[in-house]
Structure 1
Amino acid sequence: MNESHLKRKKRSLRDRTRNVRIAMLYLLPSLLLFSVFLFYPMIKTIYLSFFLTDPQGNAALFVGLENYLYLFELSRFQKSMVSTFLFVLYTVPSGVVLALFLALIANEKLRGIGFFRTLFSSTLGMSVAASSVIWLFLFHPTVGTLNHFLAFFNLNPVSWLLDPGWALISIAITTVWMNTGFSFLILLGGLQNIDRNLYESARIDGAGYFYQLFKVTIPMLSPTLFFIVTITFINSFQSFGQVDILTKGGPAESTNLIVYSIYQEAFINYQFGIASAQAVILFAIVLVLTLFQFKIGERKVHYQ
């Protein structure tokens, strides 16, 4: 009895070990890619954040936490952090609400709705550079379409990219427009997966459109909304291309988001240690806020 039990235990252990080896074999290509393009750069960045570096980016002098202390005392970095948080505040709620509004419209069974679905998702196929150039013309102070539109209503033209008070808002508008296509498609897919019988039951009970929206649609769509909010939130902290093309961090550093600040310190000022410290701080902020979002937001997610 004991010998038979021991044999079964050894066989089970052998099977589990074989399964682990097979699983690791399948994961090996992904692990290699992650090691080269994610784990090594992350470890290297943390390492360099404790050093002053030479122009080639090699560690020259160990300074411990002085890079971090220097950043927290630097007014330019503080302003960059404020601009970044304002940018996230501008883009995430407005982007999600706009994408949800368009998805609700596109989910209706109307003639020709396929054209509008294609139109609403069209920004998904455009690069950051192409999108930024389009908005560069739209924001032009003299020949831009937006100022012509304002002039039609006898309103004063706006220096969209030259006024510190408008520049960050202009970058936020561009970002929301670029991200709408992806968010729209994901939300539309989520809407189409909701069981139609729920709406039939709500209509039989006399529920109106807005009651169905807040009591049926939003709860059933909450996992998709939670995913979109999380992805949009992380992407907002990583915005770079539109800033580089439209404003280059100006005017008066009003759009000097932290990712663009990292780029300036590393590839313009050649202060790789300072840039690495900023990257570590950004990683820590995004990690903490994302975990907080999971802890608070996931409680309101309704999984079917």
Structure 2
Amino acid sequence: MQNSLNDLAAEVSSKKELIYLKPKQKFSIVPYLYLIPCLVIFGIFVYFPFFKTLFLSFTLTNARGKVVEFIGLENYLELFKSPEFINSLKVTFKFVPMLAIPAIILGFTLALLANNKLRGSKVYEVMFSMPMAVASAPAAIIWSMLFHPTIGVINYILGTSIGWLTDDKWALISVAVVTVWLNLGINFIFLLTGLKNIPEELNESASIDGANYFQRLFKITIPMVSPTLFFVVMINLINSFQAFGQVKLMTGGGPGEATNVIVHSIYREAFFNNRFEMACTQSMILFLMILTITLIQFMYEKKGVHYQ
């Protein structure tokens, strides 16, 4: 009798396994077909230009950009012996913190102010977001007029006569100010969105427990908004290395080489000196610099970013 019960239980168990056993899925090519348009666009506008640039950096080209000779690493060796390129690296590494740090701090401060539920806060949100709607070209022209040494409003307000864009002490700072203003809108929008996603109950509970504003800011707000803050830091650093339009229109890399950041140096090598191979070489170095900084950021991401 006991054996028959055991056999019956084993039979029921095997039937259950058959019931819950998922049918074997067949391979389907249909999902991959939907990726083809995306892959084609990326291939034409991203991957092909990248590998073409990489190839040209190992060659010697003529004035039309046609390959004349494959020369290996000679372009890279020549580049690091060039005083102009070394100067452009120095200018770039001076420009990046001058841009990224104020843009992030100001964006976060304005987001904190707009996040407070005060009368007219919606008006502030629109005002602080406005720079995002302005392209770099018209912004550069407007700010060039503001920075003008004789008719500019900035000198009039400060009571000075500084040549902001013609003095090598002030030119890079002036371009950084304009770039900070241009990036302020996007930083503000991202950070304000992150702040609005923080549950209000956390701050209310902390207030009841006696925590002041700055304790709530550093113990609750910043840790909770850290994923957004990490993203904003990344895009600001990348944008800082790629700044070009305002430099080209406001100073043209001058006075002297004071504002000749690496992207402007690439432009000048390609379209003024007709040395396309050197422009491609500088582009690859810029790519490696941004890649290295991005990898370092992701290495330290888990230590400083709190995901909900």
TM-score (norm 2): 0.92
- Structure 2: which amino acid aligns with 1:140? H
Q: Is the 8 A contact 1:162 1:251 kept in 2?
A: yes
Q: Which runs of 5+ in 2 are unaligned?
A: 1-13
Shift of 1:112: 1.2
Quote the Cα distance in structure 2 between the aligned partners of 1:216 and 1:22: 46
Change (3 A) 1:174 1:11: same
The aligned counterpart of 1:38 is 46
User: CA shift at 1:267, angstroms?
Assistant: 1.1
Distance 1:112 1:9, change over 3 A: closer
Residue type of the alignment partner of 1:287: L
Counterpart in the other structure of 1:254: 258
d(CA) in 2 for partners of 1:258, 1:80? 5
- Quick one: which amino acid aligns to residue 11 of structure 1? K
Q: Encode CA deviations 1:190-222: one digit per residue, 9 max, x unaligned.
A: 111100000011001000111111111100010
User: Is 1:79 the equivalent of 2:87?
Assistant: yes
Determine whether 1:282 maps to 2:295.
no
Deviation digits for residues 199-252 of structure 1 (CA, Å, limit 9, x no counterpart): 011001000111111111100010000000001110111111000100000011
Distance 1:82 1:297 in 2: 27
Task: Classify the secondary structure of the residue corresponding to 2:144.
Answer: helix
The correspondence for 1:131, drawn from 139, 145, 149, is: 139
Aligned pair 1:11/2:19, yes or no? no
The one of 148, 155, 174 equivalent to 2:156 is 148
CA distance in 2, matches of 1:292, 1:298: 12
For 1:120, the equivalent position in structure 2 comes to 128
TM-score scaled by structure 1? 0.93
Please give the secondary structure, in 1, of the residue aligned with 2:35: helix
Aligned residues: 291
Is 2:248 the partner of 1:244?
yes
CA contact (8 A) 1:132 1:242 kept: yes
Q: Aligned runs of 1:1-304 on 2, under 5 Å?
A: 11-12=24-25, 14=26, 17-18=27-28, 21-151=29-159, 156-304=160-308
Distance 2:238 2:111 in 1: 22
* Structure 1 gap segments, 5+ residues each: none
Contact 1:226–1:298 (8 Å) recurs in 2? no
Query: Offset of 1:140 from its aligned partner?
Result: 0.5
Structure 1 residue 41: Cα displacement: 0.2
**Secondary structure of the corresponding residue to residue 77 of structure 1:** helix
| Pairwise CA distance, 1:147 | 0.4
Amino acid at match of 1:254: A
Alpha-carbon distance between aligned partners in 1 of 2:303 and 2:40, rounded to the nearest angstrom: 35
Q: Which whole-Å deviations, capped at 9, do the CAs of 1:6-63 have from their partners, x for residues lacking one?
A: xx89933x2xx31xx2332221111111000000000000000011101111111111
SS at match of 2:163: coil
Runs (4+) of structure 1 moved beyond 4 Å? none
Q: Distance in 2 between matches of 1:41 and 1:220?
A: 39
Deviations 1:109-156 (A, max 9, x none): 1111111111100011111111111111111011111101111xxxx3
Q: Distance in 1 between matches of 2:30 and 2:154?
A: 59
Equivalent position SS for 2:60: strand
Greater CA drift, 157-166 or 79-88: 157-166
Alignment-mate amino acid for residue 92 of structure 2? T
Check conservation: 1:87, 1:236, Cα contact below 8 A.
yes
